[in-house]
Amino acid sequence: MTRNSPVAAASGEFVLGGALTVRRLGFGAMRITGPGIWGPPADPDEAVRVLRRAVELGVTFIDTADSYGPYVSEGLIRTALHPYPDDLVIGTKAGFVRTGPNEWHVVGHPKYLRQEVEMSLRRLGVERLELFQLHRIDPAVPLGDQLGELRMMQQEGKIGQLGLSEVSVEQIRQAREIADIVSVQNLYNLMERRSADVLDYCAAEGLGFIPWYPIAAGELSGTVARIAAAHDATPAQVALAWLLASSPVMLPIPGTGSVAHVEENTAAAQLTLSDEEMRELSAG
């Protein structure tokens, strides 16, 4: 598969903030790290192959964060892909500190956020972070201080577009009074739809909605398996196809540390579900 016949192109495109065009099916670079999203992966060479294969398959949006490793994911992305293709958008995040495997602590102090932006620039080998998302809003720090610092770095040319992660509709509205917001990254999948109101808001306002942990079937496993069999597809592909068909602002970012799985996930861009299949899945 070459860049000239990209599988991911079938997912369509979305323009973030009127400036960044990405293919809607992207790649999440969290799971190219070690267990507990801590330390390096067991096979760094395979992680590099995964990233390169994703780009070969036509992925133009990679989501990462300083806390993935920490710092490991961004470093692997640079190793695998720098100098980057002109159409590749790398979105990164900050707002968590790590103290061990599966341990995450919110920190949104302006000086800390500035430090992490500067370090992400260095690790990724770029002069500007085209998409930077506040990984979590720190309740102990005024939102205006957190976003104000990020907007200042935007004005300095170090950040292109700004996004948020794990927020409510009201928090998005508050944030947009302080800075231009182009994307929202919340937990959302077949089984977890508590952010449906956020998705609806993003669709109405033209904001990109990036569902993290996009592949989950749970109690719908029987229905998903039946639909997958009818298409000679996998349940993961059905879950991703459902997301893509659910909203034009949906930007799924399935992640994996396996080349075989990145090929399987990206092929979901070519899976078309019927109206009846969409109703069955959505009713669950």
Q: Quick: pLDDT tens for 51-66.
A: 999 999 999 999 999 9
AA letter at 83: P
Q: What are the pLDDT digits (tens) for 110-152?
A: 999 999 999 999 999 999 999 999 999 999 999 999 999 999 9
Among 68, 84, 188, 201, the one annotated catalytic = 68
Judge whether 213 counts as a catalytic residue. no
Total-model pTM: 0.95
pLDDT of residue 216: 78
Give the Å distances, CA to CA, from 283 to 182, 275, 277.
29, 12, 10
CB 69 within 8 A of CB 37: yes
Picking from 236, 274, 238, the residue whose alpha carbon sits closest to that of residue 255 is 236
| Regions in the chain scoring below 50 on pLDDT | 1-2
Domains and CATH numbers, the chain: 7-283 (3.20.20.100)
CB 114 within 8 A of CB 107: no
pLDDT of residue 3: 52
Neighbours of 116 (CB within 10 A): 24
pLDDT of residue 217: 56
